[in-house]
Amino acid sequence: MVPVYVTKAFLPPKDEYLLLLNRIWQSRILTNQGELVQELERKIAEYLQVPHFLYLSNGTLALQLALHVLGIDGGEVITTPFSYVATTSAVLWERCQPVYADIEPEHFCMDPAAIEPLVTKNTRAILATHVFGFACDTEQIEAVAKRHHIPVIYDAAHAFGCIYRGRSLLSYGDIAACSFHATKVFHTVEGGGCVLHCDEHCHAMDLARRFGHHYDNHIQLGINAKNSEFHAAMGLCNLKYFERNLEARKTVSRWYDEMLPDAIVRPAPQKGLSGNYGYYPVLFPSEQALLHAFERLAEKQIFPRRYFYPSLNRLPYLNCRASCPVSEDIASRIACLPLFPEMDRELVERICREL
């Protein structure tokens, strides 16, 4: 029996990828902002209809550079306890203190009502996550940020291709950071990037990702967050198939909607959002029910995954122990079912039957 994992990376036709590799062999430019990287940046900016997009090594460095470019090198960052660990890691790596605002229970994004009571004189930024491609309450978060004169960064690792209120979900906030890891709905094997809205931030991040210098002119502190021509080639190929894959994911999601038992709760559609169907999250009645389902599915070589566990405010290496009861409850009993474009109805039926 072939194992069924929570996701399966899409790969484009090999011949199309090889055509782009031929360009690399001809140019002998493998990295350092080669022509394929520049082409991918232009095409993604056009697709998202945003002023600037910078392609980076991964989504974690995208978050770190967003904090760095906005001048946040200490103090407190109000963030979400329900996200991948990289959201918190980036805050800690930039020598900041994460302060956790609990989430709302319908779509698992940061609750705007929980943010303002946490703002202090040491607050430097808000870092929220568009979880599973659901949109944060961008209007309310922006209102809090403006009242207190602090920037907003969105971890948009799940949000590529999502349209919210008529525009790309990645267009919200001062900076949006995304991931193009192989598990994502659009991937470049490894990779990530940032959407930026002003020339100053774009220029500063461009320098920061390549050691902070231009030839022999050393301008600012920087690191190595560049990505290669080989990764950009994969992105250029995959971008051509993104809309087709999105439609296939939408079909699989609708099959789940039809077949899943009522006892398993799914988030309701979000008003104003056209999603990317990157994940299919379900809520079990309890953690015990989740673990029992995982055991049964594993017997049939079906492997869903817990997203996200544990709630980040309970990470063992943190100094603080903030209480986030909604996040802690959701994290204990939520999982994502297998979802990828090649799934057929029979496989979805088999998964739902076991559940």
pTM confidence score = 0.96
Per-residue pLDDT tens, the chain, 355 aa: give them.
899 999 999 999 999 999 999 999 999 999 999 999 999 999 999 999 999 999 999 999 999 999 999 999 899 999 999 999 999 999 999 999 999 999 999 999 999 999 999 999 999 999 999 999 999 999 999 999 999 999 999 999 999 999 999 999 999 999 999 999 999 999 999 999 999 999 999 999 999 999 999 889 999 899 999 999 999 999 999 999 999 999 999 999 999 999 998 888 999 999 999 999 999 999 999 999 999 999 999 999 999 999 999 999 999 999 877 899 999 999 999 999 999 999 999 999 999 999 8
Q: Are residues 280 and 155 in the same domain?
A: no
What is the pairing mode between strands 163-164 and 273-274?
antiparallel
3-state DSSP call for residue 56?
strand
Could you give the CA distance from residue 31 to residue 8 in angstroms, rounded to a whole number?
27
Number of domains in the chain: 2
From 163, 173, 209, select the one nearest 69 (Cα to Cα): 209
Picking from 187, 221, 236, the residue at the C-terminal end of a domain is 236
Question: In the prediction, which pLDDT does 324 show?
Answer: 97
> Within 10 A of 252 (CB to CB), how many other CB atoms are there?
22
DSSP-based helix, strand, coil % in the chain, nearest 5: 40, 15, 40
Question: In the prediction, which pLDDT does 262 show?
Answer: 84
Q: Are residues 174 and 104 in the same domain?
A: yes
Is there a domain that residue 9 lies in?
no
Find all residues with CB under 8 Å of 352, minimum gap 6, and list them. Answer: 256, 259, 260, 261
Q: Are residues 310 and 230 in the same domain?
A: no
By the 10 Å C-beta count (0-12 exposed, 13-18 middle, 19+ buried), 178 is classed as buried
Question: In the prediction, which pLDDT does 200 show?
Answer: 96
Could you give the CA distance from residue 149 to residue 126 in angstroms, rounded to a whole number?
11
Is there a domain that residue 6 lies in?
no
Q: Are residues 196 and 257 in the same domain?
A: no
Picking from 236, 269, 304, the residue at the C-terminal end of a domain is 236
Q: Are residues 177 and 29 in the same domain?
A: yes
Is the backbone peptide bond immediately before 310 cis, with ω within 30 degrees of 0? yes
Is there a domain that residue 232 lies in?
yes
Question: In the prediction, which pLDDT does 264 show?
Answer: 87
Is there a domain that residue 4 lies in?
no
Q: Are residues 251 and 208 in the same domain?
A: no
Q: Are residues 99 and 165 in the same domain?
A: yes
What is the pairing mode between strands 76-79 and 175-179?
unpaired
Is there a domain that residue 295 lies in?
yes
End-to-end CA distance of the chain: 18
> Within 10 A of 291 (CB to CB), how many other CB atoms are there?
15
Q: Are residues 321 and 292 in the same domain?
A: yes
> Within 10 A of 9 (CB to CB), how many other CB atoms are there?
13
Q: Are residues 230 and 250 in the same domain?
A: no
Could you give the CA distance from residue 208 to residue 17 in angstroms, rounded to a whole number?
29
Q: Are residues 199 and 289 in the same domain?
A: no
Q: Are residues 328 and 207 in the same domain?
A: no
Helix axes 287-299, 325-333, angle to 10 degrees: 20
Could you give the CA distance from residue 346 to residue 341 in angstroms, rounded to a whole number?
14
Question: In the prediction, which pLDDT does 322 show?
Answer: 85
Tell me the residue range of the domain where 336 lies.
242-354
Find all residues with CB under 8 Å of 234, minimum gap 6, and list them. Answer: 12, 17, 187, 188, 189
3-state DSSP call for residue 79?
strand
Contact by Cβ (8 Å): 281, 335: yes
Is there a domain that residue 5 lies in?
no
Q: CATH no. for residue 309?
A: 3.90.1150.10
Picking from 236, 269, 289, the residue at the C-terminal end of a domain is 236
Could you give the CA distance from residue 266 to residue 52 in angstroms, rounded to a whole number?
35
Is there a domain that residue 133 lies in?
yes
Is there a domain that residue 299 lies in?
yes
Q: Are residues 215 and 271 in the same domain?
A: no
